[in-house]
């Protein structure tokens, strides 16, 4: 039996003010049987000192930079809750009933793998709240139906702080062992291994937009690992799925990744070439030549559009 109903794992790095706001929003929840786990990725801004003389929050300081994917896994390893939330340090809750309402639905529906809700956007520099993109589904739906449309026709939830996962499903199916343990990969794998998920219309928090999360450079290795994980799911779907075209699904996911890569940062030509070389060598039973052509055509089309947009913005 779990010690807590809910574990909230927060990964952080040099954002102590945002982190404090995130923790405060958790403490404001009316539901209280939870634990907060903070995994600090070697911060040097005084974050460590915040937790020196307290024991209410489980705090783990990393001796090296691991990145959020590794640190989410560290949090999962020590989590003692029946359910789990993976939260970034810059997001925060505004609905104080989210935990209570979400866990009640999960307990009353033992066949759902996660419950997810909506969020607004918080523009940090302007201190302004804007309405976020709303989830199209409501209530209980088949996981395979959402997986088919995931990110291509139906948006995914904002990050993972809006979602309460059933922890045993993640552990029992080896999802915690995947290399790329980020939001998209977590969702895709949980959807693959589950029967149903649940969506609430409620707006439960704010996804923060600020300079350090919109101007970062996305590494080639991150995108490579992201594509690799989607290839792994493709092979699993090929064996088990007959409800939609698996190859079409993968190409749609590749387009999403290209979008994220190019619009999230301006990739160097050398990085694009590295991805191209890697695509040439992956073991696959679909037409690799067409896959490479799609990737290069799509990447450079978006790069061109972005370059024209930047010129027009000057």
Domains and CATH numbers, the chain: 4-213 (3.90.550.10), 216-312 (no CATH)
CA 197/CA 304 separation, integer angstroms = 39
Q: Which pLDDT score is estimated for 214?
A: 46
Give this prediction's pTM.
Answer: 0.90
The one-digit pLDDT tens for each residue of the chain (314 residues) are: 789 999 999 999 999 999 999 999 999 999 999 999 999 999 999 999 999 888 899 999 999 999 999 999 999 999 999 999 999 999 999 999 999 999 999 999 999 999 999 999 999 889 999 999 999 899 999 999 999 999 888 888 988 999 999 999 999 999 999 988 999 999 999 999 999 999 999 999 999 998 776 445 677 788 888 888 988 898 899 899 888 888 888 888 887 887 777 666 666 667 767 776 776 676 555 555 556 666 666 566 655 555 544 445 44
Which residues are paired to 257 by β-bridges?
none
- Name the burial class of residue 112, with classes exposed (0-12), middle (13-18) and buried (19+) by CB atoms within 10 angstroms of its CB: buried
């Amino acid at each position: 039996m779990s010690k807590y109903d809910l574990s909230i794992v927060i990964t952080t790095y040099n954002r102590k003010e945002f982190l404090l706001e995130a923790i405060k929003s958790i403490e404001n929840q009316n539901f209280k049987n939870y634990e907060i786990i903070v995994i600090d990725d070697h911060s040097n801004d005084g974050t460590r000192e915040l937790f020196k003389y307290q024991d209410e929050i489980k705090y783990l300081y990393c001796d090296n930079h691991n990145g959020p994917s590794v640190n989410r896994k560290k949090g999962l390893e020590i989590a003692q809750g029946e359910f789990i939330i993976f939260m970034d340090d810059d997001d925060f809750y505004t609905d104080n009933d989210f935990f209570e309402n979400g866990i009640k639905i999960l307990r009353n529906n033992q066949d759902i793998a996660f419950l997810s809700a909506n969020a607004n956007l918080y523009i940090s520099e302007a201190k302004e709240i804007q309405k976020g993109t709303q989830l199209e589904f409501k209530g209980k739906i088949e996981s395979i139906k959402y997986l088919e449309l995931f990110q291509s026709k139906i948006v995914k939830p904002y990050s993972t702080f809006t979602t309460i996962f059933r922890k045993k499903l993640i552990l029992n199916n080896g999802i915690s062992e995947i290399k790329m343990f980020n939001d998209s990969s977590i969702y895709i794998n949980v959807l693959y291994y589950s029967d149903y998920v649940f969506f609430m219309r409620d707006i439960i928090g704010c996804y923060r937009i600020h300079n350090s999360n919109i101007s970062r450079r996305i590494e080639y290795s991150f995108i490579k690992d992201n594509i690799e994980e989607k290839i792994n799911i493709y092979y699993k779907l090929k064996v088990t799925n007959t409800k939609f075209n698996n190859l079409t699904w993968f190409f749609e996911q590749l387009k999403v990744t290209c979008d994220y890569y190019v619009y999230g940062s301006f990739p160097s030509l050398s990085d694009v070439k590295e991805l191209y070389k890697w695509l040439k060598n992956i073991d696959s039973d679909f037409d690799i030549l067409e896959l490479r052509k799609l990737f290069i055509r799509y990447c450079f089309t978006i790069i061109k559009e972005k370059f024209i947009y930047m010129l027009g913005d000057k």
